[in-house]
A = this chain, B = another copy of it.
Amino acid sequence: MGNFVACCRGFWCRTKNPDVRISLPGVCFIWQIAMIILFGLFVRYNEESDAHWAEHKHTKNITSDIENDFYYRYPSFQDVHVMIFVGFGFLMTFLKRYSFGGVGFNFLIAAFGLQWALLMQGWFHSLDPVDGTIKIGVENIINADFCVAGCLIAYGALLGKVSPVQLMVLTLFGITLFAVEEYIILELLHVRDAGGSMVIHTFGAYYGLTISWILYRPKLELSKRLGGSAYHSDVFAMIGTLFLWMFWPSFNSAISDHGDGQHRAAINTYLALASSVLTTFAISSLSAKRGKLDMVHIQNATLAGGVAMGTAAEFMISPYGSLIVGFCCGIISTFGYLVMTPFMEKYLKIQDTCGIHNLHAMPGLLGGVVGAITAATASETVYGHEGLVNTFDFEGKYANRTSATQGGYQAAGICVALVFGIVGGIIVGCILRLPFWGDPADENCFDDEVYWEVPEDEESMPPILEYNSHMVSKNTDMMSESNFTVDQS
């Protein structure tokens, strides 16, 4: 028994080997080939992207090409696309020496994730009962981007501490879980969540946090020197922040109802975001000596308003309601960075690199609650009869559902997202603890050198001051290491 334990420990705790030369290409090739085969078997164009559109128009008496869903949703799709790749990607460049990993691995897992998401979501939502294929159009690719967002949020908690292979695994399972969770929430419970406060943010955040908890690194302080930002990396991260902030109205309105639904979702999100900027600046300034602002807060907590409007944006929450939501979120999220993140790291053993608990988990939960309350209090006075039916899809077998019932189901949706995030995170976290995924050692976290060919920065290389030629060669070698002192006595 003792032998077995020792053996296990040897297996689990052997020296980390972050060489991914076989595993990363292997995973990329296998999964991409699998995608090609599955797409070949299952995925086709839908009636609006198929060349038969001309005939479809005649059949459905559509008079103009502009009625193609492409023109309703493509501009929003592109905004969402920018959020996924530039928004999330650059938001994660804030670490001084992990910018390549931040933006690069974000790119990799998003590109894989969206393919798998098209399949998973397709099987659940767009399966053609006649021929068993998935019919895709612009709404599917928006949903695929949404689905990917969940995994990118999870990546935020793990930034700098995992290998790209682990991220691919995390994404494979994350998308799968997401699709099931989304099916339960949106289809079975018939919950409205166009911007994904629950489906995307709550799920993604708890998924990532749970994995981070399982992968806890007690000696992470060995990488402390690289765990912060540099001046320029903070400016790079602001690119991410601003593109997320600006395009969040498109995110929350991208798959809302045509017409007033998209219109209202965009306005509500716009207002909530503006409001959370002010409270973020306020709390950030209030909490520091001499009122100095902290870039971490500005880069993240300003976005909390968008997260929290994910569910309610398309409802008649009214402009001042949106402002209130943003007001609260900016405060909660900034307090999270000040209090919760250190607390969670110290006492709950959850190391959350980007603070996704503050940006996605808490505002996501709040968004779910706001959505439930707004739905429960919806009335025909405010929405009009037709408006109420359209907004909540009280049609078909849901024709008799009341607003109050809908509110209850909305609340149930929050729980489903939470359970999927936590349970899924535990399972995937355990898989990711297996010792062959090539994750970095505790002293090499947050370091691009591990997985990237990093250019030598001659530019930031200092002129070397020597007093004998012998020293030159000696020091050149030493310079390649990070902290050194030349003791020449």
Q: Which residue of B lies closest to A48 (CB)?
A: B263
Which residues does chain B contribute within 8 Å of A54, judged by CB atoms? 259-260, 384, 386-387, 390
30 inter-chain pairs at a CB distance below 8 angstroms, sorted by A residue, are A18-B290, A21-B286, A21-B291, A28-B278, A28-B279, A31-B278, A32-B282, A35-B275, A39-B320, A44-B318, A45-B264, A45-B319, A48-B259, A51-B260, A51-B391, A52-B383, A53-B263, A55-B387, A66-B258, A74-B75, A82-B246, A89-B242, A99-B231, A107-B277, A115-B274, A230-B459, A232-B232, A295-B455, A463-B475, A465-B486
When all copies of this chain in the complex are counted, the total is: 3
Contact of A460 with B by CB under 8 A: yes
What are the residues of chain B within 8 A of A319 when measuring CB–CB? 39, 43-45, 136
Knowing A51-B383, A465-B465, A487-B468 are in contact, say whether A234-B40 is a contact too (CB < 8 A).
no
Counting chain B CB atoms within 10 Å of each CB, the highest count among A28, A55, A136, A384 belongs to A28
Q: Mark A112-148, 1 if CB is under 8 A from B, else 0.
A: 1011000000000000000000001110010000000
Flag whether A22 is at the interface (Cβ < 8 A): yes
In the complex, which residue of chain B has the Cβ closest to the Cβ of A291?
Answer: B21
Give min CB distance, A295 to chain B, whole Å. 6
Taking CB as reference atom, which chain B residue is nearest A383? B51
Asked if A11 is an interface residue, CB under 8 A from chain B, the answer is no
A374 at the interface (CB under 8 A from B): no
Q: Are B320 and A43 in contact (CB under 8 A)?
A: yes
* Residue A432 lies at the interface, judged by CB distance under 8 Å to chain B: no
Say yes or no: A71 contacts B72, CB within 8 Å: yes
Per-position binary interface string of chain A over residues 357-389, scored 1 when its CB falls under 8 Å from any chain B CB and 0 otherwise = 000000000000000000000000011101110
CB-defined interface of A55-94 with B at 8 Å, one 1/0 digit per residue? 1010000001111111110111011011001100110010
- Chain B residues near A484: list those with CB within 8 A: 463-464
Tell me if A457 and B231 are in contact (CB < 8 A): yes
List 6 additional contacts besides A32-B282, A115-B275, A467-B467; criterion CB under 8 Å: A20-B290, A20-B291, A36-B275, A53-B263, A141-B267, A239-B239
A250 near B78 with CB under 8 A, answer yes
Looking at A262, A285, A318, the one whose CB has the most chain B CB atoms below 10 A away is A285
User: Among the listed B24, B32, B236, B264, which residue makes an inter-chain contact with A235, where contact means beta carbons less than 8 Å apart?
Assistant: B236
**Residue on B nearest A452 in the bound complex, by CB:** B293
A391 vs B53: C-alpha distance in the bound complex, in angstroms?
11
Q: Is the CB of B466 within 8 A of A275?
A: no
Chain A 261-285 per-residue mask, 1 if CB under 8 angstroms from chain B, else 0: 0111011001101110111011101
Within 8 Å CB of A242, what residues of B? 85-86, 89, 103, 107
Does A441 lie at the interface of the complex (its beta carbon under 8 Å from any beta carbon of B)?
Answer: no
CB pair B51–A384 under 8 Å, yes or no, is yes
The CA-CA distance from A28 to B274 in the complex, in Å, is 12
User: Once the chains bind, are B472 and A24 in contact (CB under 8 Å)?
Assistant: no
Q: Which of B52, B81, B234 contacts A100 (CB 8 A)?
A: B234
Contact B466 A235 (CB under 8 A): no
Task: Check A462 for interface membership: any CB of B closer than 8 A.
Answer: yes
Q: In the bound complex, do residue A21 and residue B288 qualify as a contact, i.e. CB atoms below 8 Å apart?
A: yes
The answer to whether A451 has its CB under 8 Å from any CB of chain B is: yes
Contacts of A263 in B (CB 8 A): 48-49, 53, 68-70, 137-138
By a CB distance below 8 angstroms, the chain B residues around A286 are: 21, 25
Residues in B with CB closer than 8 Å to A271 are 39, 115
A250: chain B residues at CB < 8 Å are 78
Taking the closest CB of chain B, its distance from the CB of A113, in whole angstroms, is 9
Q: Is A333 positioned at the interface, with any CB of B under 8 Å from its CB?
A: no
Task: Compute how far the CA of A53 lies from the CA of B86 in the bound complex, rounded to whole angstroms.
Answer: 34
A228 — which chain B residues lie within 8 A by C-beta?
455
A197 to chain B, nearest CB (A): 20
Q: Evaluate contact between A75 and B72: CB separation under 8 angstroms.
A: no
Would you call A488 an interface residue if the criterion is a C-beta within 8 Å of the partner chain's C-beta atoms? yes
Q: Which of A1-42 contact B (CB under 8 A)?
A: 18-25, 28-29, 31-33, 35-37, 39-40
A126 to B335, CA, bound (A): 38
Q: Which has the most chain B C-beta neighbours within 10 Å: A32, A82, A270?
A: A32
Establish whether residues A320 and B40, one from each chain, have CB atoms under 8 Å apart when the complex forms: yes
Interface residues in A384-435 by Cβ distance below 8 A to B read: 384, 386-388, 390-391
Complex alpha-carbon distance, A55 and B97, angstroms: 56
Asked if B282 and A29 make an inter-chain contact with CB atoms under 8 angstroms apart, the answer reads yes
